[in-house]
Chains A and B, each alone.
Chain A
Amino acid sequence: MLARLLQGVAVVLFAASITFFLIKALPGDQFSERSTNPNISAETLARFRARSGNDEPLLAQYWIWISSAAQGDLNRSDIFNKPVARVIGQHLPATLQLMSLAFVASMVGGIALGTWQGTATGSRAERLSGAVSLALVSIPEFWLAMILLLVFAINVHWFPTQGMSNLNHDGTVVGIILNRLHHLFLPWLSLTLLDIAVISRYHRAAMRDVMGQQFLRTARAKGVPEHHIKWKHALRVAVLPIITIAGLYFPALFVGAVLIEQLFSWPGIGSVLPQAIASRDYFLVAGIVVVGSAMTATGSFLADVTRERLDPRLRR
């Protein structure tokens, strides 16, 4: 367990280091944009560079960045003129809100759909749903989000086009929550629809594997009802690989959320990242990579722990 934790830390460190060196290896720095500005002289730029430590040797810069990053200081963001950690801290909760709701829904939906697909093999409905799943996993989530936005928010005005809230509520707690959910629905749906398809495709395969196993024949021979066999005995075994997949799926969900937030102006990391990219805010981009890697590592760590808990074969 401790080794697993250390491995997670190593991965984050590795990702952060790669990002740092790749960024530094590329031509230009956070001041190159300003070199075209006639109001900023070359001397001022040089002073900027010296003050931000860009003239130091590469390894020294790396050490300063990585050691302060380890203490939670990710340097300053240029465009927000605030510490990167604070910018991320302000925007991460909105992203996590979207991600967690999408995660829960796609896990429950994907496992339910996959269990049914895996046991109803060959029926017409199952083949149709398999084809739909295959089509869905071929759709990039940001494009689905665009289409949903176009149809349900712009054309028929069922849902708001942007933000997390507006003043269209009565001020009560219930009203505020309903207003939030109303805003959340389309971004959530864009993520969830596709993720259900992905999870169900994995789970269907796992179910089909399990359905052929001996212990189910034993259960049937004992007279266990068929739906019990499918939804209790088989599901319990088939769901184990999905836990690992779920851990691996976390980073993809983060990226998906980031892409979709931009479209819906959801005030999460996705609303910050394009700006950071457009204005080459080095430390903010690097900070988001570090946070993303930490989430990835946490995801796979949690998946391992959960799996070890649930799978008696892995216990020692």
Chain B
Amino acid sequence: MSRASGWTRGSAADASSLAVTVAGTDGNVRVTSERTNWHRPVALLLLFMGLVLIAPSFAPYDLAQQTTVSATKNQAPSLLHPMGTDATDRDVFTLVLRGAQISLSIGLGSVSIALLIGAAYGALAAMLGGWRETLLMRITDVSLAVPRFLILLAVTSISVKAFTSLQLMLLIGCTGWFGMARLMRGEVSALLQRDWVLAAQATGVHRLRLAVHHLFPHLVPMLLVFTTIGIGHTIVLEAALAFLGAGGSGASLGFLLHSGSSIFASTWWLAVFPGLAIVLLVFACNALGDALRDVFSPEQVHSWPTT
């Protein structure tokens, strides 16, 4: 991963003008404002996530009312049950709404944890400098090389008690911040080279204030991109764990796929709809991450985390 020099060049424009030039897709040069265009994608993302999070309250059926022996179990999609019913007579649409809520909460929670730890760690390393920076970064390098999914799988599968969603969130978050730390250190140490930092330091600004008031605003775009793409990533990670039967105790979308996977040859709707919901959630995150990245840093599309 290259040093994020392009981004800092982009934001170098902040003193003189708020505009950066972007080579348009048609080959002409168009001018976009660096700071104004991000509101719409972010608002869309928040709206979408809010909808997913509150959707189960408007679900058409009550999941508590299930019967094991019933004439309405394993029904194909119909007007009454738009996504069919499962083997215990539950409405799959209601299950998918709740599963999406659980998957998204785990994604949001883990990424927030990873963001907090990683950003603090990376910024600390960059601001300390010297051998302490090298040491801190070596630790993240080794941790990044460890196959995280397999270890998460080993842990979640072997615990006798299934993890609650909160525990899973903590587990995924606390093992997912190394990339963030590395990225953050790169960005912060690039920012620290800039003249206005020197100017701020010369006026006697405290280090903490420098970090929060001076450096942080420059990092918001990068953090936003990381968050959106990270959420999508985490949803897939959790779904893969749950699909192998090793997720948390919550009925996330991956768990629905897991429970449908043994009988999906005859009941295709149990496999298709939860999966489509995952794709939709992840696609929303990826597309918004892409859009944000294009708005913020047209010059260096690939030095930030992609899928």
Contacts and interface: CB of A to CB of B under 8 A. Distances in A.
A243 interface: no
Interface in A224-270: 251-252, 254-255, 258-259, 262-263
Interface string B150-166: 11011101111100000
B245 A274 contact: yes
Contact of B244 (A18, A32, A277): A277
Nearest to A291: B150
A147 B243 contact: no
19 contacts: A10-B142, A11-B142, A15-B150, A26-B158, A121-B25, A134-B287, A137-B286, A138-B232, A140-B279, A143-B271, A146-B261, A208-B301, A251-B150, A252-B149, A255-B149, A273-B244, A278-B245, A280-B158, A288-B150
Contacts of B278: 140, 143
A74 to B, nearest CB: 13
B158 A282 contact: yes
Contact of A139 (B145, B159, B240, B279): B279
Given A198-B307, A274-B245, A277-B246, A285 B236 contact: no
Interface of B: 25-27, 142, 145-147, 149-151, 153-155, 157-161, 232, 236, 239-240, 243-246, 257, 261, 264-265, 268, 271-272, 275, 278-279, 282-283, 285-287, 290, 301-302, 306-307
B155 A26 contact: yes
B155 A22 contact: yes
Interface stretch (A90-98, A182-190, A293-301, A308-316): A293-301
B272 to A, nearest CB: 7
Query: Is chain A's interface secondary structure helix, strand, loop, or mixed overall?
Result: helix
A137 B307 contact: yes
B279 A14 contact: no
A240 to B, nearest CB: 12
B279 A122 contact: no
B207 to A, nearest CB: 32
A109 interface: no
B271 A122 contact: no
Interface stretch (A47-55, A64-72, A199-207): A199-207
B147 A296 contact: yes
A18 B146 contact: yes
B301 A205 contact: yes
Contact of B159 (A26, A276, A293): A26
B86 to A, nearest CB: 16
Contacts of B151: 15, 18-19, 22, 289
A138 B277 CA distance: 11
Interface of A: 7, 10-11, 14-15, 18-19, 22-23, 26-28, 32, 121-122, 127, 134-135, 137-140, 142-143, 146-147, 150, 154, 161, 198, 201-202, 205-206, 208-209, 251-252, 254-255, 258-259, 262-263, 273-274, 276-278, 280, 282, 285-286, 288-289, 292-293, 296-297, 300
A251 B236 CA distance: 15
A226 B286 CA distance: 33
Contacts of A27: 159-161
A199 to B, nearest CB: 11
A270 B25 CA distance: 44
B307 A146 contact: no
Contacts of B243: 140, 142, 259
A10 B151 CA distance: 16
Instruction: Sort A-B residue pairs by CB-CB distance and give the 9 closest, nearest first.
Output: A205-B302, A28-B160, A143-B275, A277-B157, A138-B283, A138-B282, A137-B307, A11-B145, A26-B159
B147 A138 contact: no
Contacts of B145: 7, 11, 296-297, 300
Nearest to A250: B147
